Structure 1
Amino acid sequence: MPRPRGSVLTASVLTASVLALAGCGTSTDASGSASGGEPVTVANCGSDVTFPSAPERVVMLKSAAVPYLHDLGVLDRVVARAGLYPSEYYDEQTLAELDAIPELTSDTDTSGHLQISKEVVVAQRPDLVLGEVDNLSRSSLEAVDVPLLEEPALCETGGSEPGFDDVWSQLALYGEVFDRPDEAAAATADLQERLAAVEAAVGEPSGRTAAVLYPTVGGGTTYAYGTGSMAHPQLEAAGLENVFGDVDERVFEVTLEELLGRDPDVVVLLHTDGDPAAVEEALVGLPGAERLTAVREGEVMTQLFNFTEPPSPLSVDGLEAIVARFGA
C-alpha cells in the first residue's frame, strides 16, 4: 500500500519532527549540536556522516538542495556549484543568491549526468559536498575527509516509498547540520499549510488516471515512474491515480505499447533542460501516440524534473502546478 500523504502537524508534533531527523528511510542520530561545539552525526544513504561544526564551505553538485538551503538562509555558504540550475525553479531572491555562487561546470553527458573531476571539487576546500555524481562517489571524497550528503530518494541503497513527509524530514536534517532548527520548523509549517490547502481543494480522487514520464528528446527510451518515486504521492495528492501504481520501482523503461495498454487520461512529462515543446514532441511524435487518451484530448503537461523528483519543497510547487493544469 502507498504510504499516506503528509498532513498538517500540530506545533508540538512539528517540533518533534525537527528533532527526530531521518535520512534515506532510516532514523538520524544526532550527538550534541553544532552550536554547542559538539559534533553532529546524521545517517545518509546507509552511511553515518559527522560534522564537527556547521558547514561553512559547501560545494553543490545537484540542484535539489537549493530550496532547502534557501529556506534555511544558508545558501551563502555555498562556495561553488556545478550542474544545471534552471531559472524556472526559483524566485528572484533565490536566483540572486545562485548568481553570486561561482560555477565550476555545467557539462553533462548524453543522459544529463554531471561530469566533474575530484580535483576540481577538492580544490574548493569544501567541508560539505551536496549531491553524488557518477564519477565522484562518497567513498572517494571520504578518502580526503570531505563529507557528502545526497537526497534520500536518490540513494543507491533505496528506502521506503517516498512522500511529502520526506520533505519535512530532509528539512529537519539540513536544519540540524547547519544549526538552523527554527528555520527548518518554520519552512516545514509553511509547506504543510500549502499541501493542506491543495488537499482541501482537491477533495476526493477525481477518478482520472495519470502517468509521469521522462521521454528522451530526439528519439530513444521513454521512462515511467512507479511507487518508488515522488511522482506517485504527488499524483495521489492531485486526486489522480498513477497507472503505474502497481510497479514498486522508482523509474523504469516503458514502451508505447505498454502506455497504450494502461492509457492514462493525463500525462506529466519531466525534463531537466531545454525546450518544453521538444519534450512534448518526444512523446506525441511517437508513431501511434495519437491513440493515447491524454494525447488525443490534449491532456499533457511538461514540467522540470525537480518539481517532482526528488522530494523537496519544489515538489509542493509541482503539485500546485499539476492541480492548476488538470483541475482540482
Structure 2
Amino acid sequence: MRAAHRPARLPLALSACVLAACGAPAGPTPATDDPLTLTNCGAEVTLDAPPERVILLESAPVSTLRALGALDSVVLRAGAFPPEYYDAGTNAAIRDIPSLGEELDASGHLQISREVIIGQQPDLVLGLPDGISRESLAAVGIDVLVHPTMCPEGGGTTTFDDVADHVTTYGRLFDRQAEAGELVASLRERVATVEREVAGGPERTAAVLYPTVGGGTVYAYGRASMAHPQLETAGLTNVYAGVGDRVFEVTLEDVIAKDPDVLVLLHTDGEPRAVRDAIVTLPGADALTAVREDDVLVQLFNFTEPPTPLSVDGLERIHTTVGHGS
C-alpha cells in the first residue's frame, strides 16, 4: 500500500494554471491526504502517492524530472535519449537507468510490447508508444500520462504557458512544488530575456519543418504547435501561422513560394548533416532565401515539442543561431 500523497498548497496563479492544463474542474486546493487526480487525454488518472516506480518511454520529461529532483523515481526506460538534450550529470543518470530496449521504427517511434511493460509492474508510465493503448494498461492497474500536446485530440493553441503548466503538474505529481515554482520562474525569465533582446529588431520570416531523410514527406508546424510561439518570441514570423493544425504535410514548392528567411529543421535522432541535406539538396531548394543565406538550424525534436523546459533551450538556440541574437 502506497503512502497517501500530501500535495502542498500552490500559489493561486500557479494552481489555476495547473487545473486548466489538467482539465480538472476549478475549485479549492485538495485537502491534505487527498489523492491527486489528473485528467489526461480525456482519461482520469488518480495517484495515492508520488510514483516510485516509473517507466519512461519518451525523452521529453527527463529535463523536468532532473530539475525537480525526481529522476530517481524512474526505474526503467525505453527508446532514444539523445545526449545533446542534457548536461553531463543528467546523461550519467540516464545511463544508470536500465533500458528495456531502444528499437525505433523509420519514423523514430519506439517499438515495445505491452507485455514487456506489464511485466515490470510500474505504478506510472510516462509516454505511450504506437500500438499500445492506455486502456490495455489501465486494465491491469498501470497509469499512463501523455503530454497534453500529444493527445489524439490535440491540446489547442500552444504557448510558453504550457511549459509552465507541464512543470507545475510534475511538481504536484512528484510532490516537488517548491522546486517546480523555482523552475517556472527561471524559465519565464529566460523567455522574457529573449523577448527583450529581439524587441525592435528587423522583420524576418521562418518555417519549422520535419524532413524525411532519404526522400519522402516533409512536414511543417502551424499555429497549434510549440514551434509557433518559439518563432514569435524569437522575433520571427511563422510563414505557416495561418494554418491552425499542429503539424501537416507540405511540398517544397509551397515552402519556396513562402520563401522563409530562416529554416528550423527538426529530427528525432538522425545525423544533422543528413537532415539538412534532405531539404537543401532538393531540386529548387537554392531558390530559398534561408538556404542562400545559410540561415538553417537543425535541432532535435524535443527542443521544440512537446512544451517542456527543453522548448526554452530550443528558443535560445533559435535566437542565438538564426534569430536576432545570431
- What TM-score, normalized by structure 2, do the two folds share? 0.92
**SS in structure 2 opposite 1:219?**
coil
Q: Quick one: distance in 2 between partners of 1:307 and 1:16?
A: 29
Contact 1:64 1:312 in 2 (8 A): yes
Q: Quick one: distance in 2 between partners of 1:281 and 1:325?
A: 18
Residue number in structure 1 paired with 2:80: 84
Q: Quick one: distance in 2 between partners of 1:28 and 1:280?
A: 45
Q: CA deviation at 1:315?
A: 0.5
- Please say which of residues 176-185 and 208-217 is displaced more in the overlay: 176-185
Q: CA deviation at 1:39?
A: 1.0
Contact 1:154 1:310 in 2 (8 A): yes
Residue number in structure 2 paired with 1:325: 321
Residue number in structure 2 paired with 1:26: 23
Residues 292-321 of structure 1 deviation map (CA, whole Å, 9 limit, x = unaligned): 111111111100100001100001000101
Q: Quick one: distance in 1 between partners of 2:104 and 2:181?
A: 35
Q: CA deviation at 1:19?
A: 2.4
Task: Quickly say closer, same or farther: Cα 1:24–1:135, change in 2 above 3 A.
Answer: farther
Q: CA deviation at 1:53?
A: 0.9
Q: How does 1:72-111 map to 2 (within 5 A)?
A: 72-111=68-107
Contact 1:64 1:151 in 2 (8 A): no
Task: Quickly say closer, same or farther: Cα 1:204–1:43, change in 2 above 3 A.
Answer: farther
Contact 2:36 2:173 in 1 (8 A): yes
Indicate the structure whose relative CO is greater, using CA pairs within 8 Å and at least 6 residues apart.
1
Task: Quickly say closer, same or farther: Cα 1:277–1:23, change in 2 above 3 A.
Answer: farther
Q: CA deviation at 1:109?
A: 1.1
Contact 2:22 2:39 in 1 (8 A): no
Within the alignment, does 1:136 sit opposite 2:132 as a pair?
yes
Gaps of 5+ in 1: 1-13
Q: Quick one: distance in 1 between partners of 2:266 and 2:259?
A: 18
**SS in structure 1 opposite 2:11?**
helix
Q: CA deviation at 1:272?
A: 0.6
Q: Quick one: distance in 2 between partners of 1:72 and 1:83?
A: 22
Size of the aligned set, in residue pairs, is 313
Q: How does 1:154-303 map to 2 (within 5 A)?
A: 154-204=150-200, 206-303=202-299
Residues 90-139 of structure 1 deviation map (CA, whole Å, 9 limit, x = unaligned): 01121121111111111111111111011111122100000011111211
Q: Quick one: distance in 1 between partners of 2:25 and 2:181?
A: 17
- Please say which of residues 237-246 and 19-28 is displaced more in the overlay: 19-28
Letter in 1 for 2:23: T
Q: How does 1:50-65 map to 2 (within 5 A)?
A: 50-65=46-61
Residue number in structure 2 paired with 1:70: 66
Q: Quick one: distance in 2 between partners of 1:206 and 1:311?
A: 27
Contact 2:67 2:183 in 1 (8 A): yes
Residues 204-243 of structure 1 deviation map (CA, whole Å, 9 limit, x = unaligned): 3531000000000011111000011000000000000000
Residue number in structure 2 paired with 1:316: 312
Contact 2:203 2:235 in 1 (8 A): yes
Q: Quick one: distance in 2 between partners of 1:129 and 1:203?
A: 41
Identical residues among aligned pairs (%): 54
Contact 1:24 1:155 in 2 (8 A): no
Q: CA deviation at 1:28?
A: 6.3
Residue number in structure 2 paired with 1:7: none
Q: Quick one: distance in 1 between partners of 2:20 and 2:143?
A: 15
**SS in structure 1 opposite 2:77?**
strand
Residue number in structure 2 paired with 1:10: none
**SS in structure 2 opposite 1:114?**
coil
Task: Quickly say closer, same or farther: Cα 1:83–1:19, change in 2 above 3 A.
Answer: same
Q: Quick one: distance in 1 between partners of 2:170 and 2:255?
A: 39
Contact 2:213 2:275 in 1 (8 A): yes
**SS in structure 2 opposite 1:105?**
coil
- What TM-score, normalized by structure 1, do the two folds share? 0.92
Q: Quick one: distance in 2 between partners of 1:125 and 1:308?
A: 32
Q: Quick one: distance in 1 between partners of 2:21 and 2:30?
A: 21
**SS in structure 1 opposite 2:90?**
helix
